[in-house]
Amino acid sequence: MKFRLSKQMLACVALAAMAVAALGDQPRGFIPPIVSLPSHLNNALPYVYDREQNLSSAELDRAISDLNHAILINPANAEAWKNRGAIYLAKAECDKCISDSTEAIRLDPKDAMAWQNRGAAQAMKGELDMGIADLNEAIRLCTNDASAHLNRGHANMQRGEVNQAVSDYTTALGLGAPENQIYAHRADAYAWKGEWENAISDYNQAIRLEPKIGTIYDERGYTYLRQGNPDKAYADFAEALRLNPNDARAYRYRGIAYNHEHNFDAALNDFTEAIRLSFGDAESHRQRGLIYGIRGNWGKAIGDYSAVIQISGTNENDYCMRGALYGAAGELDKAISDFTAAIRINPQDALAYAHRAASLTLKGDHDQALADINEAIRLKPDDAENYSSRAGVYVFKSDVQRAISDYSQAIVLNPKEAVYFARRGGCYNNVGDYDWAISDCSTAILLNRETAEAYANRGVAYAKKDNLDMAMSDLNEALRLNPKDVDAHQNRAFLFIKKSDSDGAIADLSEVIRQQPKNVVVFKTRGLLYTSKHDFDNAISDFTAMLKLDSTNSEAYEYRMGAYWLKGDFHKAANDCRSIVRLNPGHAHRCNDLAMMLASCPDASVRNGKEAVDFARKACELTEWKEPHCLMTLAAAYAESGDFAQALKYQKQVLDMGPWTDSERKEIQDRLDLYQQGKPFHSARSQ
């Protein structure tokens, strides 16, 4: 007994996704739903198309079981092989469909539907060239088969051949394919081409035919959004959600609309809801991750892109984005790993090489960074940004002339990019060509008055030329445009110092410290400014911060010692002086300082004549008894210990070591007179 399906069913078996309820939410595809399968397949008449109903998984399995029996009875039954292949396609078991369809074609090479089924299955697997070849053969065998044109339209859409897809959909429509499917598919194709009016016209027709299908409102709304009509877009998304409150796509599209309007809170809410409804929605993760990145919430942004990579880990752009986020978070090793993964997926991805070069530069691996950016330039020799990036690497390598050369090449390729001029101007500052720096930065400002780098670099050049007012004006503008520019704050601070405005300098240095809490140089500079203002507590706090960053920093101990001394806290000053000697035991002047403090401190409880003699003698030994200041300290130490004979001996040696200025000779003589009177020398308290 020969089994065959009705012509009505065969004309539909390759139209759209079958058994949606059983197999989950699938994109518009190649197999339509049908009413039901009869319990006995001898009667083919009940197999009629009806897209309002879906087959259950059990019904599909029963159909396969019956077809298995038909094939067992007659293995040469091409119809049975073809029909079982169609059911396998409905179950998205593409390999089995291809196998059965191939056997059907072998048995009956003129069966257009068998070619169509196999072509649809191959297209669903992503084997688009083979799929389209089979669909072409199906159309050659049966030119007027609407379903073959429809399926070839789907395959051409997947391959990016959008014009051919539109042609196929239009032909299918003319041949009588179901309008309710064709209009929506062709609208998608028009939207892909950017033909918004044609797309909206077709979506309107699809909605007229199917007014209760929310996904069509989704797509029309997204088309309105891309057309620049957000109000109509929001209205469509609202209708889609009214029809189906669990429509993840509607939330995603509306989130994108909010995102475009910088309504990030509303966008975050919609993307979060889309993800709740469909965790596998990679695009919603991407969009939400971008917002978290814009807000500097690196952890959450990285989490979203990690989810994207878990969902679809073959897109190099996703690895590049997560790598950039890791880089922004300071996790350079992870950033480099992601850029490497992107390069592994696509070795021709110049952007991935450029990004990896940036991370390697920040990590200090300048040679490898240079190798990467050279590869990026090889892949995209006309990309100005790559030359700009390589110039940045050369700056880190202190090869400023090559940096200037690369910025010049970037300018040749893109002469309207203000940043390239601004950065070349910064390089000219580095080599002392301040007039060229001012010229380049002025050009950058003419091109784009919002280029903060141009004002910052021109301000430095003006400062170097002692045009302090112009320098201050430019640095003020740079910081208005970019209040977080650490270098500009630091440069303006030094300008304030030149103008004797210590309060202004302290304010700028405080901002630098807020952003760079481990910047030792800035702590030192601010501490010295506080010291000059007699704000000794804040000065001591800054020098202490330096020591927390590096407990072996002799300079920090020295500055703090001075602040303690000026404050009158002599015990702490002496402790810091001892720390300096401990860190520098072979340094004569450090030993001399401690000896002088122990010999002459205004606070008697700090003075220790015997210990002072020990350190003073060590200083004299280290300088081979030739340094008058060390000998004078030794004299003071002996005087403090009560040995005035030794004090007079060494003080007279100092007097004989001249030549001295009149003021120096008077100071030496005054101390000699004290020792002759049996009095030690003690420093006066600071006022």
- When pLDDT is cut at 50, 70 and 90, the band that residue 160 belongs to is very high
pLDDT digits (tens, 9 = 90+) for 612-638: 999 999 999 999 999 999 999 999 999
Do 9 and 47 meet the contact criterion of CB atoms below 8 Å apart? Answer: yes
pLDDT digits (tens, 9 = 90+) for 130-150: 999 999 999 999 999 999 999
Locus of tokens 């079958």 = 18
pLDDT digits (tens, 9 = 90+) for 419-473: 999 999 999 999 999 999 999 999 999 999 999 999 999 999 999 999 999 999 9
- When pLDDT is cut at 50, 70 and 90, the band that residue 687 belongs to is low
Residue 520 has pLDDT above 70, yes or no: yes
Locus of tokens 């091109």 = 447
- The whole-number pLDDT of residue 239 equals 97
Q: What is the mean pLDDT of the chain?
A: 90
Stretch 242-262: mean pLDDT, rounded? Answer: 96
pTM, two decimal places = 0.72
Residue 126 has pLDDT above 70, yes or no: yes
Residue 50 has pLDDT above 50, yes or no: no
pLDDT digits (tens, 9 = 90+) for 524-535: 999 999 999 999
Count of all residues that appear for the chain in the document: 687
pLDDT digits (tens, 9 = 90+) for 550-606: 999 999 999 999 999 999 999 999 999 999 999 999 999 999 999 999 999 999 999
Quote the CA–CA distance of 501 and 687 in Å, as a whole number.
23
- State what percent of residues in the chain have pLDDT above 70: 92
Beta-bridge mates of residue 34: 49
Stretch 16-43: mean pLDDT, rounded? Answer: 30
Q: Which of 458, 427, 456, 428 is nearest to 441 (CA)?
A: 458
- The whole-number pLDDT of residue 686 equals 67
Residue 21 has pLDDT above 70, yes or no: no
Do 98 and 121 meet the contact criterion of CB atoms below 8 Å apart? Answer: yes
Determine whether 416 is exposed, middle or buried from the number of CB atoms within 10 Å of its CB (0-12, 13-18, 19+): exposed
Three-state DSSP at 49 gives strand
